[in-house]
């Protein structure tokens, strides 16, 4: 900005903007937030509001746009959605009392990861801020490996976690964790080398921002954490050895402090350490492939309600905290059979106790987002409605407690013990806050009468004062004889007497003229002035007192954060358990057995999402019997569209549901604990990451073979499809052998393939069993039976599917003819042609490669050895070029 507008206001603006260059600065001027210069140009476009300019007459007017202060929230939300951050600069002193220019300060920086305002946050999703610290190590081989520290904080609830990732799989593990957490904003140090930045390669979700390296300093970080949680050592939290985690943790805290400078951060809970082996490991590919929280191809769709995701099917929670917890249970299934049993027993109990379940859920429906309400109290932004929401929430605690008393499963007994009804907090709020209190604390009428004597007195004075003014109006009407005389009030003049032009002849001499309008004149009298001072004096005092008392109450409630967070935790678990029981009852799920064995036995299993779709013939259930010793790898063949992928996913989803503590869609299920589920399903390009379909397929397969253990469940759907038939078949074959071999891996695996040749593996390797999806052929048409049976399919029926899809008849006929030729050539011992080569519709079969003819015609006896070698090199060159 030049010095075109050198007014004190613009100088103040420039000084403040200097410190918030990356943000759009909302600069409070009276009843507006104004934006200037490039901010104005950008914001006016993003917000579709008019762009004007300040000081139009000068040679260099300053671009300007503005939004009314009371509507700012919507505009801020819009800018955040557009990926921008907003610095909110307020007038921090009363303009009436200011000497000269009003003081202004940035009181809040709105960034995607630090939001606390209910207007911006979807209640069912966590809003996570994350930071990553990195340490580069050169392995002996010259390879460079990194270790990572990760800290996450949900500012709106105070949940704070630290973790670390080491070893050769550290980067993959970090990426998977980020995929699970979906942070909105991600911080990392600004001085990282390209090697240290590798993990950010194809991050697309969060807003990434680099921060000074000093924010990630280990020693300073440790001190910052100790100060934040008032301890001398971090040992009590079990995180003292996480040096990288602490570095990231400190950066997160620092960022929150920078963005919310005026907020005390007492609601942040002490750090908890996330262990890698606490939960079943689900990588980002599996989360996506199994459509756990987001439907494929609709990644942006809100997920808890989506009928196309497992979360959408399972989420019958009735509270926001419950909904968020269910998501967490879903993305972190347990790996400890005793802990799973505890959850299942509670779900079982609530499934059977229908009446209790119904009443419990009714009581829970009243509960609001206690967790976020507490944070708003602590951060000093809770308004009177928030406090009322807290009251309503705790009001249902006794009813919930009463329902629990009849239940005795260990989990519920545990939740019930030392149950806190927070009756004192209920009474505190009930005694203080008016039922109809307004949203804003500046609007008054917050406190109940009887709560504070001075408030009552001021209210009386204000009421009486208004009565006096009404009395004065009547008196003046009588004195002047003007019936239309009115005493009115506005912000600028305060109280005044208004007379229409027609009555100006009747104005008494003691009236002092204040303002002339088109049709009326406004006056003041000494008596009115005196009354006004009494009335507005009482009103101003009243508003200030109510505000102060409300803030006191809010601070008092903030001291109860730990207690309320515990209540919130218990309610969330109850809500999830009751929701899982409800879903189990409505969807006819059964209780699975989860044990330490290595089998996976499902009777009449169903796909929880597909079975809910409107299928013409209904969903056909299928059994699964995998066990490590005798039948660990199933080769599944069958036509396209037969239901192979659905079946594969259903086995994974049932396993996952069982381990999260949910009942499952089957008539019986026994699940041997699974440490990880791997999926390689379908083709997906990663063009943004510069990888072809085949490369993605191979990278994912490599990841599986490197990371799976004998306790893992692996789903492979059409490995090798992205390359030529022989390449693909060979790779698929070798992968199956590798997985089947207990010396190398030996994990429970479902392998769906189009390569019928793979069915030979059953007789060649132990532990491999063939299955196929049954079809019936009638009058040249294919009927899908959706039933998985023993044995291998002998054909693909791809052409039939193409016909169903509506390819032109000529193409279908021609394809059948080509297929017949291909089949006869392969049965006569000639190799099947590579299916990547184009088939010409006017030729019979592709002609032999022209180079063969050249070789055939070579006269070797008239060539010198050198000639022959050169010729060979030339042929090879040409082949390579092809």
What residues form the annotated binding site for ATP?
638-645
265 within 8 A of 659, measured Cβ to Cβ: no
Beta strand 62-68 with 129-138: parallel, antiparallel or unpaired?
Answer: unpaired
Q: In this complex, which beta carbon is closest to ligand ATP, that of residue 127 or of residue 637? A: 637
Q: DSSP of 722-773, one letter per residue?
A: TS-HHHHHHHHHHHHHHHH-TTT---EEEEE-S-GGGGGHHHHSTTEEEEEE
644 binds ligand ATP (CB under 6 A): yes
- The piece of 92-100, 400-408, 490-498, 644-652 that touches ligand ATP (CB under 6 A) is 644-652
CB of 825 vs ligand ATP, minimal distance in Å: 25
Q: In this complex, which beta carbon is closest to ligand ATP, that of residue 573 or of residue 793? A: 793
Size of the site for ligand ATP (CB under 6 A): 13
CB of 691 vs ligand ATP, minimal distance in Å: 21
- The piece of 170-178, 312-320, 542-550, 638-646 that touches ligand ATP (CB under 6 A) is 638-646
Q: In this complex, which beta carbon is closest to ligand ATP, that of residue 682 or of residue 847? A: 682
Q: In this complex, which beta carbon is closest to ligand ATP, that of residue 357 or of residue 786? A: 786
Q: In this complex, which beta carbon is closest to ligand ATP, that of residue 122 or of residue 295? A: 295
CB of 724 vs ligand ATP, minimal distance in Å: 19
Q: In this complex, which beta carbon is closest to ligand ATP, that of residue 576 or of residue 620? A: 620
- Compute and round to an integer the Cα radius of gyration of the chain: 36
Q: In this complex, which beta carbon is closest to ligand ATP, that of residue 115 or of residue 610? A: 610
Q: DSSP of 397-424, one letter per residue?
A: HHHHHHHHTT---HHHHHHHTT----HH
Nearest to 586 by CA among 409, 366, 350, 408: 350
Shortest-Cβ-distance residue relative to ligand ATP:
643
- The piece of 183-191, 399-407, 582-590, 637-645 that touches ligand ATP (CB under 6 A) is 637-645
Could you tell me the two tokens for 654?
Answer: 């049932």
Other beta carbons less than 10 A from residue 771's beta carbon: 27
Element (H, E) at 52: strand 52-54
Of residues 331, 642, 658, 750, which one binds ligand ATP by CB under 6 A? Answer: 642
CB of 306 vs ligand ATP, minimal distance in Å: 16
CB of 784 vs ligand ATP, minimal distance in Å: 7
User: Pattern of binders to ligand ATP over 492-531, x per CB under 6 A?
Assistant: ----------------------------------------
Q: In this complex, which beta carbon is closest to ligand ATP, that of residue 272 or of residue 756? A: 756
Of residues 9, 51, 472, 641, which one binds ligand ATP by CB under 6 A? Answer: 641
CB of 764 vs ligand ATP, minimal distance in Å: 24
90 within 8 A of 184, measured Cβ to Cβ: no
180 in helix, strand or coil? helix
CB of 678 vs ligand ATP, minimal distance in Å: 18
Q: In this complex, which beta carbon is closest to ligand ATP, that of residue 428 or of residue 641? A: 641
Other beta carbons less than 10 A from residue 877's beta carbon: 10
Of residues 112, 189, 221, 643, which one binds ligand ATP by CB under 6 A? Answer: 643
Q: DSSP secondary-structure letter at 99?
A: S
- The piece of 272-280, 510-518, 636-644, 866-874 that touches ligand ATP (CB under 6 A) is 636-644
370 within 8 A of 393, measured Cβ to Cβ: yes
Q: Residues within the annotated binding site? A: 638-645
Please give the biggest Cα pair distance in the chain.
137
Give the angle 75-76-77 at the CA atoms, nearest 5°: 90
Q: In this complex, which beta carbon is closest to ligand ATP, that of residue 50 or of residue 805? A: 805
292 within 8 A of 410, measured Cβ to Cβ: no
What is the C-alpha separation between 253 and 274, in angstroms, rounded?
18
634 binds ligand ATP (CB under 6 A): no
Of residues 44, 353, 646, 659, which one binds ligand ATP by CB under 6 A? Answer: 646
Q: In this complex, which beta carbon is closest to ligand ATP, that of residue 80 or of residue 652? A: 652
785 binds ligand ATP (CB under 6 A): no
CB of 326 vs ligand ATP, minimal distance in Å: 26
786 binds ligand ATP (CB under 6 A): yes
Other beta carbons less than 10 A from residue 156's beta carbon: 27
CB of 586 vs ligand ATP, minimal distance in Å: 20
640 binds ligand ATP (CB under 6 A): yes
CB of 647 vs ligand ATP, minimal distance in Å: 6
518 within 8 A of 428, measured Cβ to Cβ: no
What is the C-alpha separation between 504 and 469, in angstroms, rounded?
21
CB of 613 vs ligand ATP, minimal distance in Å: 6
CB of 804 vs ligand ATP, minimal distance in Å: 11
Element (H, E) at 32: strand 32-36
- In sequence order, the 6+-apart residues with CB closer than 8 A to the CB of 92 are 102, 103, 104, 105, 107
Window 591-630: residues binding ligand ATP (CB under 6 A): 610, 615, 619-620
Where would I find the H helices in 406-525? Answer: 410-416, 423-432, 453-480
481 within 8 A of 463, measured Cβ to Cβ: no
Count the alpha carbons within 13 Å of 567 in the hemisphere toward its beta carbon: 29
- The piece of 114-122, 214-222, 440-448, 641-649 that touches ligand ATP (CB under 6 A) is 641-649
Give the angle 146-147-150 at the CA atoms, nearest 5°: 130
378 binds ligand ATP (CB under 6 A): no
Q: In this complex, which beta carbon is closest to ligand ATP, that of residue 249 or of residue 638? A: 638
Question: For 486, phi and psi rounded to 5 degrees?
Answer: -135, 145
CA quadruple 56, 58, 59, 64: dihedral sign: negative
Length in residues, the chain: 882
605 within 8 A of 651, measured Cβ to Cβ: yes
CB of 611 vs ligand ATP, minimal distance in Å: 8
CA distances from 375 to 366, 554, 678 (A): 19, 11, 38
CA distances from 14 to 72, 104, 561 (A): 21, 12, 39
Q: In this complex, which beta carbon is closest to ligand ATP, that of residue 561 or of residue 753? A: 753
CB of 758 vs ligand ATP, minimal distance in Å: 14
708 binds ligand ATP (CB under 6 A): no
- The piece of 130-138, 214-222, 388-396, 639-647 that touches ligand ATP (CB under 6 A) is 639-647
What is the C-alpha separation between 106 and 114, in angstroms, rounded?
15
Q: In this complex, which beta carbon is closest to ligand ATP, that of residue 40 or of residue 750? A: 750
What is the C-alpha separation between 475 and 480, in angstroms, rounded?
9
645 binds ligand ATP (CB under 6 A): yes
Could you tell me the two tokens for 706?
Answer: 């490197």
829: left (phi over 0), alpha (psi -120 to 50) or beta: left
756 within 8 A of 793, measured Cβ to Cβ: yes
Bridge partners (DSSP) listed for residue 625: 601
- The piece of 24-32, 150-158, 329-337, 643-651 that touches ligand ATP (CB under 6 A) is 643-651
CB of 643 vs ligand ATP, minimal distance in Å: 3
130 binds ligand ATP (CB under 6 A): no
Q: In this complex, which beta carbon is closest to ligand ATP, that of residue 345 or of residue 640? A: 640
> What are the residues binding ligand ATP (CB under 6 A)?
610, 615, 619-620, 638, 640-646, 786
């Amino acid at each position: 900005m030049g010095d075109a507008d050198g007014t004190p206001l613009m100088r103040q603006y420039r000084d403040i903007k200097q410190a918030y260059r990356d943000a759009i600065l909302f600069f409070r001027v009276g009843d507006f937030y104004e934006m200037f210069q490039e901010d104005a140009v950008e914001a006016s476009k993003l917000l579709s509001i008019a762009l004007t300019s300040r000081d139009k007459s000068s040679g260099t007017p300053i671009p300007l746009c503005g939004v009314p202060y009371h509507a700012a929230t919507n505009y801020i939300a819009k800018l955040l959605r557009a990926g921008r951050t907003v610095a909110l600069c307020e007038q921090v002193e009363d303009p009436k009392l200011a000497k000269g220019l009003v003081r202004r300060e940035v009181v809040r920086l709105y960034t995607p990861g630090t939001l606390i305002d209910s207007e911006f946050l979807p209640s069912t999703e966590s809003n996570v801020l994350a930071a990553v610290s990195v340490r580069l190590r050169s392995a002996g081989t010259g390879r460079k490996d990194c270790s990572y520290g990760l800290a996450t904080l949900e500012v709106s609830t105070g949940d704070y976690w630290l973790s670390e990732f080491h070893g050769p799989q550290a980067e993959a593990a970090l990426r998977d964790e980020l995929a699970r957490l979906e942070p909105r904003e991600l911080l990392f140090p600004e001085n990282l080398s390209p090697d240290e930045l590798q993990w950010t390669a194809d991050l697309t979700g969060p807003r990434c921002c680099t921060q000074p390296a000093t924010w990630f300093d280990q020693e300073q970080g440790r001190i910052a954490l100790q100060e934040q949680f008032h301890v001398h050592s971090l040992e009590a939290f079990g995180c003292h050895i996480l040096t990288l985690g602490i570095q990231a943790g400190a950066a997160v805290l620092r960022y929150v402090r920078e963005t919310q400078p005026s907020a005390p951060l007492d609601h942040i809970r002490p750090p908890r350490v996330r262990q890698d082996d606490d939960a079943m490991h689900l990588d980002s590919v599996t989360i996506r492939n199994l459509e756990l929280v987001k439907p494929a191809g609709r990644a942006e769709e809100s997920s808890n309600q989506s009928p196309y995701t497992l979360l959408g099917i399972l989420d019958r929670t009735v509270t926001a905290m419950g909904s968020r917890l269910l998501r967490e249970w879903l993305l972190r299934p347990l790996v400890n059979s005793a802990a799973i049993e505890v959850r299942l027993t509670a779900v079982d109990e609530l499934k059977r106790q229908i009446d209790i379940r119904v009443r419990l859920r009714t009581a829970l429906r009243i509960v609001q987002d206690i967790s976020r309400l507490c944070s708003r109290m602590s951060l000093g932004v809770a308004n009177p409605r928030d406090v009322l929401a807290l009251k309503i929430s705790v009001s249902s605690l006794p009813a919930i407690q009463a329902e629990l008393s009849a239940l005795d499963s260990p989990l519920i007994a545990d939740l019930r013990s030392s149950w806190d009804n927070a009756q004192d907090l209920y009474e505190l709020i009930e005694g203080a806050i008016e039922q109809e209190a307004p949203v804003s604390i500046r609007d008054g009428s917050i406190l109940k009468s009887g709560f504070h004597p001075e408030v009552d007195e001021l209210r009386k004075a204000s009421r009486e004062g208004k009565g006096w003014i009404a009395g004065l109006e009547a008196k003046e009407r009588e004195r002047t004889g003007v019936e239309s005389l009115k005493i009115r009030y506005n912000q600028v003049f305060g109280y005044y007497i208004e007379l229409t032009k027609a009555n100006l002849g009747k104005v008494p001499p003691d009236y002092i003229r204040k303002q002339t309008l088109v049709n009326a004149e406004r006056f003041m009298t000494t008596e009115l002035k005196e009354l006004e001072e009494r009335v507005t004096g009482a009103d101003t005092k009243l508003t200030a007192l109510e505000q102060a008392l409300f803030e006191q109450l809010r601070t008092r409630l903030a001291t109860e954060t730990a207690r309320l967070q515990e209540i919130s935790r218990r309610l969330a678990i109850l809500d999830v358990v009751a929701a899982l029981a409800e879903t189990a009852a409505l969807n006819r799920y059964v209780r699975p057995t989860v044990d330490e064995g290595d089998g996976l036995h499902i009777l009449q299993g169903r796909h929880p999402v597909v079975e809910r779709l409107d299928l013409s013939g209904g969903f056909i259930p299928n059994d699964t019997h995998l066990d490590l010793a005798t039948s660990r790898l199933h080769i599944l063949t069958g036509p396209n569209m037969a239901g192979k992928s659905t079946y594969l996913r259903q086995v994974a989803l049932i396993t996952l549901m069982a381990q999260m503590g949910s009942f499952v869609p089957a008539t019986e299920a026994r699940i041997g604990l699974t440490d990880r589920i791997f999926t390689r399903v379908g083709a997906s390009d990663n063009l943004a990451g510069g990888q072809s379909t085949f490369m993605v397929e191979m990278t994912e397969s490599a990841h599986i073979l490197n990371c799976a253990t004998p306790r893992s469940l692996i789903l492979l759907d059409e490995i090798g499809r992205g390359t030529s038939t022989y390449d693909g078949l060979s790779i698929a074959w070798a992968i199956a052998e590798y997985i089947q071999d207990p010396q190398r891996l030996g994990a429970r695996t479902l392998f769906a393939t189009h390569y019928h040749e793979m069915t030979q593996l059953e007789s060649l390797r132990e532990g491999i069993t063939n299955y196929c999806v049954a079809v019936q052929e009638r009058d040249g048409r294919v009927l899908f039976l959706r039933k998985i049976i023993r044995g291998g399919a002998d054909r693909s029926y791809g052409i039939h599917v193409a016909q169903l899809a509506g390819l032109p008849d000529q193409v279908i006929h021609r394809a059948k003819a080509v297929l017949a030729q291909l089949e006869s050539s392969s049965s006569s011992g000639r190799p099947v042609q590579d299916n990547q080569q184009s088939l010409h519709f006017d030729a019979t079969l592709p002609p032999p490669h022209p180079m063969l003819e050249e070789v055939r015609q070579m006269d070797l006896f008239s060539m010198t050895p050198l000639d022959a070698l050169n010729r060979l090199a030339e042929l090879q060159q040409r082949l390579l070029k092809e």
